[in-house]
Structure formats: C-alpha cells, structure tokens
Chains A and B, each alone.
Chain A
Amino acid sequence: MLIEFFLTLKKSGIKTTLKELLDLIKALQLGVIKFKTEDFYYLSRSIMVKDEKFYDRFDRAFSIFFNGISDLDLEFLKNEIPEEWLRKQFEKTLSKEEKDKIQSLNDLEELMKKFMETFNEQRKRHEGGNKWIGTGGTSPYGAYGSNPFGIRIGQDGNRNFSAAKVWDKRKFINLDDDVEIGTRNIKVVLKKLRKFSRIDGQDELDVGETIRKTANNGGFVDIRLKPERKNQVKVLLFFDVGGSMDPYIKLCEELFSAAKYEFKNMEYFYFHNFVYEGVWKNNERREDVVYLDEIINKYGSDYKIIFVGDASMGIYEITHVNGSIEHYNEKPGELYFKRIKNHFDRLVWLNPIPKEDWEYVQSIDYTRYLTENKMYNFTIDGVNQAVKFLSK
C-alpha cells in the first residue's frame, strides 16, 4: 500500500527516495501516529517532502491517491479490472448531468471515449484563469490519469468526503516553482541572483589560512589563496514598458530595484515592444534617448544582458523598416537586436507570458529565435535557468 503511495508521489514529480519510504514505514512502526488520515498526511509530508515548493504537488498527489484512483494506464484498466468497478470509478468523477448523459452508453470503449471528451471539454472551459491546469502540458501524471482528476480536485475535491480535507485546501499553491512570481517568490529569486553575483572573482591571499597552515607546518610558509567574494557581475537590464506589459512592469521593477544593491554595475533601460536605434534611461522623460551605439561603445562584452518583455506585437514591428508603432525606424528592429546580441557574450530574455503559449504568438516565437533560444519564463524556475546560463 505504501509502495503505491510512494510511486504516486514519484510520478507527481516529488523527489523522494527509497530511504524516505523506509523512514516512513519505520515511523509508522514506532507508532508516531494513530489511525487518522490527517495525521498520516502530516507525517508523510514531513518525511517525504523536503521543500515547501513541493507541498502543493504533494497535496495533489495525496488527493489523487486517497480518492482511491491512481493513474493506471488504459490497457491495464481494460485488462485487469472488472468493468463494473471501473465504470463506478469513472462515474464518481462525473457530475450528475454528465452521468445522465453517459447512462445510455453500454460499451466501455464508448464510455471511455465519452469520458475523454468530457474531460477535454472541461479543460477548455476551465483553462482561463486557473493556472494550475495550464501547467497540464508538463504534467507528470501521464497521459490519462491525473488531469481529469486534477480538474476535479480544485473544483469539488471534497465531494467524496463529508468535510474538506487539508490537502484539498491547497494552501501552498503559491510556493510551487511553476507558479508565476509573487511577492514572496521575488525574494527567493533575488537570493538566486546574489548567488551568481558571488561566484565570479579572482584569488586573493587568505591571511588567516596562511598563518594557520604555516603554523601546522611547524614554521614553513605555506601560502593559501581564496576566491575573492567581490561583486563582479555587471548587468544591463532592458524593460519593455507600456501596452501589454503594463500588468507586469511593477513586478519587474520591484524585482530588479531590490536587486540593485547586489550589483555594483547595473543599468536600466526602457523600450517599447522592441528595441530600435535608441532606448530610454527614464521612462517618464522619453526625450532622453540613449542610442544603441553609445551602449555598445560604453559597456564591454562581459556585461550580462537581461531583456524583460512579453515580446507580443505585430511581427512587422521586428522585421520591417518603419515597423515601429511609435516612430520611423530606418532599419528593422531585428537588426538592432542582433547588434546587441553580437556585442555581448550573454543575453537572456525573460517573458512573463506562460511558456505554453509562446509558439502561438509569432512575434514571441521569432524573438525566441533571435535570442538563440535563450528566452525564459518569468517564473522562479525560468529565472533560475536564465541565471544559470548567465553565470556560465
């Protein structure tokens, strides 16, 4: 029974190992808890999950498991399990109208087909604001199992129970990695940036360690060096402002103004939709244009470039002369962008639009191509990857 539980957790992407399963069994043997599901929930969580960002995933997996449905594959279902039981299980997850609708269907195949249809329908209907379904594409639960139930869990997860369960409350949803950055998460990201700002550096003499080693040697001088912990990273930030970026701009500024003290050399610039011959230093005084030539002359190629923008615009704004919606640009935007890209060694683009949608917007797809696939999601995970690339 616990092995099944363990596998469910594994499948939902929680990094847990056999050692922890054994610990859990041992804890049960020692009688840490009595026979309450809730206690088991707390106990297994504290043993199997080692990071609060996985709490939400754990809640979901737990819910799936304790609803008595694990994600078996279709063939297995058909071969191993009595049809009658299976039908009941499926019916459990359907609403009353849906049940009535499928009552007329006799064949299991048909039932399943119908079930999949309903599921697809539901997904469409619910996708809107509910981020947690949006992650469906990368959902680790396999093709069939979890998504229908995933939808169910949030919607009316406590249908089969008399009272709402702790794990169905999903209190920890905003601690998950894939969720967009929130105020709490910003702090965590900042710490990531700090990490990479300290990796760089040169060796300096470690006085204390040298003395100690020399003393250990009985007087022979043994010189020790240590990496300098200076802030060597230089960053240029380009923010997309106005229009479609309005909802995100505060987020961006919050993120990077707080990061400012971490970077000795950091500059901000603003642009609208795409870069052309100049950018602004101050968003309120747009007449002060800083020309791209100046930037390329002034800042060495070791500066790290971070673009923050949704890259959502008409494709002509990137590819055409006079494509800009604000002024007459003599050369297409992509040319200017390529000049930046060629001058600097490391460039990333952070995009607040969910990654799943990128391929549907031509301009995002093209911008991604221009960045040589160095476009990352503006989520903890995405920023993490971007930082990793920048600090290489």
Chain B
Amino acid sequence: MKKFTSTDTYIATPDLELAVNAAMSLEKPLLIKGEPGTGKTLLAEEIAKSINTEIIKWHIKSTTKAQQGLYEYDAITRLRDSQLGDSRIQDISNYIVKGKLWEAFESKEKVVLLIDEIDKADIEFPNDLLLELDKMEFFVYETKENIIAKNRPIVIITSNNEKELPDAFLRRCIFHYINFPEREVMEKIVNVHFPKIKKKLVSEALDVFFELREIPGLKKNPSTSELIDWIKLLLSDDIPKDILHERDENKAIPPLHGALIKNEQDVQLLERLRFMLRRGK
C-alpha cells in the first residue's frame, strides 16, 4: 500500500508520518490529539488525497449518539406513512437511514473515515463504537442483516482533550499527539501555504508570532491556522514592507492582530503591555 508522507500542501513530521503508516498497516483507528489549530482535521483530508481516495467526515456534537453513525430508524415517517396508507410501510428497510460508518463500510474502495472531535460527545460514545471499529461490522436489528465492511476504511479520530477517552477504546487505537511545531517546521508550513512569500517577511512574522506565544497569561495562544490566516491578511493587505520591522513603537500589538488574537481580554492585555513598554522608555 502507498505510504503517507508530507505533501506539497501539508507538512507532516516524521513521527506523524510513522503513526499514520502504522495505523494504515495495522488497520487500526488513528487517534490524533493536539492543540486546536495544529492541523488535526486537515490531516485526514491529506491522507485521503495522498492515497487518492474519498473522505467521509463525521463531525461529532455533544448530542451525537454512536447509533447515528451506524443507522437510524425513522419511526416517525413510518408512523405518518401508516396514517396515509402508504404501501412503503410494509418494508421496514425503507425507513432505515444509513449513517456515516455504514457509508464507509459500503464503499467499493478503501476510504478515509474522519470522526472529528470525538471528545465533544457523551462519555459513553467511544465505548458504543468499540466493536464496530474493531471488527468493522455491525448488526441492523430492524432488518436482521449484518453489515460488514467491504474494505476496512482508514479511520482517523481527532480529540481536543475535553473529555478523557475510555481505556478500552484507547487500546484499539494508534495514538499520536501533535506537538506544537518548532520554528523550522513552522517555516516549512508557511512556505507550503505561500510558496512565493519573501523569506524576510516569513522570518519577521514568525518572530512576532513566537514572541506572542511566549507572553504569559494569554487566554488562547495563537496556533498554526491562525498564523496562516494572519500571513494571508498581511499579504493581501499589501501593508508597507517594514511594518513588522518597526515594531518597537507598538511592540506588543502586531498589525492586523485580529487574525491572531481572538479574545477581547487578550487584546486588552497586549494593550496594557504596550502602554507599560512605552512608559518604560
């Protein structure tokens, strides 16, 4: 099978590459954790792209039930149909709505199945999917049929660490924690997104960015995706070349900070810092 490597649109560190390849060879789900904005969701898309297959996304919300990923029995439509005397009502399979997992199991070729933000769901949610993910099969009670995956999909699961996942579930996964990228990796990431960008701008932007991340007490540290957005803004806004350079005056607040800092209190904190810096002079 094709191995997963960094692409020209996505930079994967060697350890991440290995984890993905191990998960693909062992045919086990890959659980990805990491700070928000480090490219967890993007990874699934890139894997799909690199092995040239479809991706099926299942976004989890706090109300999502495991059963919804398999199938749902639409009893209400059936009840209504029975009142109207519709003949469809005779066949219960008319009212079985397929879920994302079923979709992935049914697919003719190997697909990537993304279960996004699994920690948002109820605590029991992962447990309810144990067998389904392990054996890649499940049973439909209403129609008494057993659904078995034709091709075991590559399952990518992301988590933001809001809840702890049960041990039994973890046992069945390959795990990878995306650490916040170091400067060299970050430079590569920026280059991938903006191939024509000037080196100087990148290095200055990264200076500002990492400085910002080092300020203690920020509620939300800017992450990779925010950096990319910010550089996009810098480029499109056509700001004067040396604005990043002349940071002395407004050192604490970078230009177009709205893309980097998403929290009112953080902006206030930076403003206070700037005020103190000025007064200090």
A residues in contact (CB < 8 Å) with B = 15, 17, 19-20, 23, 26-27, 30, 32-33, 38-39, 42-43, 45-47, 49-52, 55, 171-172, 175, 183, 188, 191, 195, 211-212, 215-216, 219, 254, 258
Q: Check if B21 sits within 8 Å of A32, measured CB to CB.
A: yes
* B19 in complex: contacting residue of A42, A52, A211, A212, CB < 8 Å: A42
Q: Check if A171 sits within 8 Å of B170, measured CB to CB.
A: no
Q: Check if A46 sits within 8 Å of B26, measured CB to CB.
A: no
Near A by CB (< 8 A), chain B positions 127-162 give: 161-162
A-chain residues with CB within 8 Å of residue B173 when the two chains form the complex: 50
Q: Check if B171 sits within 8 Å of A215, measured CB to CB.
A: no
* A32 in complex: contacting residue of B18, B33, B79, B177, CB < 8 Å: B18
The reply to whether the CB of B15 lies closer than 8 angstroms to some CB of chain A is yes
* B15 in complex: contacting residue of A23, A46, A47, A50, CB < 8 Å: A46
* With A52-B177, A215-B79 as contacts: A19 and B171 at CB distance below 8 Å: yes
Closest to B20 in A: A46
The distance in angstroms between the C-alpha atoms of A38 and B15, with both chains bound, is: 9
B residues in contact (CB < 8 Å) with A = 14-15, 18-19, 21-23, 25-26, 28, 31, 33, 73, 75-76, 78-79, 161-163, 167, 170-171, 173-177, 179, 216-217, 219
Closest to A49 in B: B175
The distance in angstroms between the C-alpha atoms of A52 and B33, with both chains bound, is: 8
B-chain residues with CB within 8 Å of residue A23 when the two chains form the complex: 26, 28
* With A30-B26, A46-B15 as contacts: A188 and B161 at CB distance below 8 Å: yes
A-chain residues with CB within 8 Å of residue B26 when the two chains form the complex: 23, 26-27, 30, 32, 47
Q: Check if B25 sits within 8 Å of A27, measured CB to CB.
A: yes
B-chain residues with CB within 8 Å of residue A45 when the two chains form the complex: 15
The distance in angstroms between the C-alpha atoms of A26 and B28, with both chains bound, is: 12
The distance in angstroms between the C-alpha atoms of A183 and B180, with both chains bound, is: 15
Q: Check if A51 sits within 8 Å of B14, measured CB to CB.
A: no
A-chain residues with CB within 8 Å of residue B21 when the two chains form the complex: 32
The distance in angstroms between the C-alpha atoms of A267 and B234, with both chains bound, is: 44
* B161 in complex: contacting residue of A43, A55, A191, CB < 8 Å: A191
* B22 in complex: contacting residue of A19, A46, A219, CB < 8 Å: A46
B-chain residues with CB within 8 Å of residue A15 when the two chains form the complex: 167
* B18 in complex: contacting residue of A30, A43, A219, CB < 8 Å: A43
Shortest distance between the CB of A23 and any CB in chain B (Å): 6
| 15 A-B pairs in the complex with CB atoms less than 8 angstroms apart | A15-B167, A30-B26, A32-B26, A39-B18, A46-B18, A46-B22, A49-B175, A50-B31, A50-B175, A51-B175, A175-B177, A211-B76, A212-B76, A215-B75, A216-B73
Closest to A39 in B: B18
Interface centre among B15, B163, B167 (most CB of A within 10 A): B15
Q: Check if A212 sits within 8 Å of B18, measured CB to CB.
A: no
A-chain residues with CB within 8 Å of residue B33 when the two chains form the complex: 52
The distance in angstroms between the C-alpha atoms of A33 and B3, with both chains bound, is: 11
Closest to A192 in B: B164
Q: Check if A191 sits within 8 Å of B163, measured CB to CB.
A: yes
Closest to A29 in B: B25
The distance in angstroms between the C-alpha atoms of A17 and B169, with both chains bound, is: 13
